Structure 1
């Protein structure tokens, strides 16, 4: 039994080993192609991701990972329930926009304004996700399509609002006014890392407890594995769908609030779209097979790749777009795994495998 288990563990680890070797080989090939000194480039990558004076770059990696991990958790909850909600970008924008507008427009004590703004951001994200669910359940629009298409109207609505009625004209940029300084997230002592990462940590702990130790989490996972069986045993599939989408959207909205009160202190047009937080979160979830405890590790890995690539550019002149190449390689790997799993499943069903 022990030998069998060890062999099984080895076989399951081999694909991951091959993946990392594949990524390393492609990075090495790219470095050689651009004529960069490999030693300096790798040193710059490590320093850019984890080094810096007083670990400044490590703080930047952690700050970016707070947003990527948050979006990954949002995606993971819906994907495990069999709900392919790829509208996280729209839910993120909705949360960030509402958080900024509440922070600017709502009078009152700073702590109250901050709490209301975060709750309003979560509500906005949840409602935008629920809209995709309503389109699927009552109008027949597939969730994959509806959630994707809903990314665009909220982006344009946000662009209009910060370009016209709520624009900080004096700044000369397409952005809202600053939220009150008293509502900004505090930094950890001696660092430039704000406490927004604690919200992501709480969300990660909640996702673990929810996925492994709650009846609702078990029901949603059962629905993800077999919706037909879930209906047969009497689970309220429609209600589970809406509740899960609302939960997923609320976490995305919270991430938008983290970006507003912890990093930018206002809503800037494109600030949540151009860094691809939502799409990177999807890749991070798929890379680890939607395993809840592994999602934060995967999200941190992608944050380190992005900040490390910037360090390579500073140290060795290597274009930071190499991070996008690495993500593309991982996407190909994930796609091949999904395709292989589907092929195997189809073969099992036909009795050929």
Structure 2
């Protein structure tokens, strides 16, 4: 017997696959217009993403991408658009760095507390945007986006002046001690603690969405907020809760990057890869379904890693993979026109 949730996920995956196929065809035409062979380009992208070291790079890049995509998907599921992922990731990353650097505690405990501090910082920062919407009628979309600019300016000032490591020429904090870092591998396997933590988060989000009362209420609110309110859902409390959880996920991503890869907070380093906007595109492509969001995020990660490999091998700009991502989203947006029921 197929459940409604299974049908929902199946229909979403069919739409995603059709959008990807259409985008691949259109992307091939774009590549062809540059004089390159589309088959060679796609072959190099696939090979670079899954062969040799490419697979490890794809999985490593997928950790923050999955986190930011789930942060966006949680909000979208409940009818909110969180454009403040950059700011929430920044405050979370800085909070993790400060705890890891200055808290007088054993290394492992310090790392755990740094992760918790990052989640609290990111969650509270998104919670402010929810309060602005509920109290001053400022849309969450606008408030979260504007708060990102404040976070960017504030964190930049802090790492350039009071928190700066004077021994380096970069605007960055001191380096986190080895004991407070997340190990890059587990039992000498090519699996990092960041992958394990993000996998646990993804499972929790999927289980809550499929079987939790909160997940059901979020879906109902996203579909019809007025109906959800009439059925007994406290929309104000839900908005605050969803905003906090979405921001907490973004803050966790910042902490994983600081403690597991960069080991210090460097001005602009967290934002340079564009995880927030890639994650938002993945969530939109997946139509906020958690399972589809995880799959789409890994696909985007492979696409980006393969793009860098294609650039090295063929001399074509890796930005072509961003064009392909945009085409996929556009094809998904056009799907109702082509699949409209009579």
- TM-score normalised by the chain length of structure 2: 0.90
Q: Does 1:278 align with 2:273?
A: no
Change (3 A) 1:238 1:18: closer
Aligned residue number for residue 46 of structure 1:
46
Change (3 A) 1:13 1:71: closer
Change (3 A) 1:228 1:38: closer
Change (3 A) 1:10 1:283: closer
Aligned residue number for residue 303 of structure 2:
305
Matches within 5 A, 1:215-254: 215-254=213-252
Matches within 5 A, 1:80-229: 80-188=77-185, 194-229=192-227
**How far has the Cα of 1:83 moved from its partner?**
1.4
Partners of 2:80 and 2:282 lie apart in 1 by 17
Gaps of 5+ in 1: 1-8
**How far has the Cα of 1:193 moved from its partner?**
5.0
The answer (yes or no) to whether the contact 1:73–1:203 under 8 Å persists in 2 is no
Q: Does 1:319 align with 2:294?
A: no
2:60 corresponds, among 60, 63, 66, to 63
The answer (yes or no) to whether the contact 1:41–1:315 under 8 Å persists in 2 is no
Q: Which moves more between the two structures, 181-190 or 283-292?
A: 181-190
Change (3 A) 1:206 1:181: same
Partners of 2:200 and 2:122 lie apart in 1 by 18
Q: Does 1:33 align with 2:30?
A: no
Aligned residue number for residue 75 of structure 2:
78
**How far has the Cα of 1:36 moved from its partner?**
3.5
Gaps of 5+ in 2: 1-8
RMSD: 2.6
Give the 4+ runs in structure 1 shifted more than 6 A.
Answer: 9-14
**How far has the Cα of 1:161 moved from its partner?**
0.9
Partners of 1:210 and 1:11 lie apart in 2 by 20
Change (3 A) 1:37 1:245: same
User: 1:144-193 CA deviation, whole Å, 9 max, x = no partner?
Assistant: 11111111100111111111111122221121111111122212255665
The answer (yes or no) to whether the contact 1:223–1:229 under 8 Å persists in 2 is yes
Aligned residue number for residue 3 of structure 1:
none
Q: Which moves more between the two structures, 123-132 or 105-114?
A: 105-114
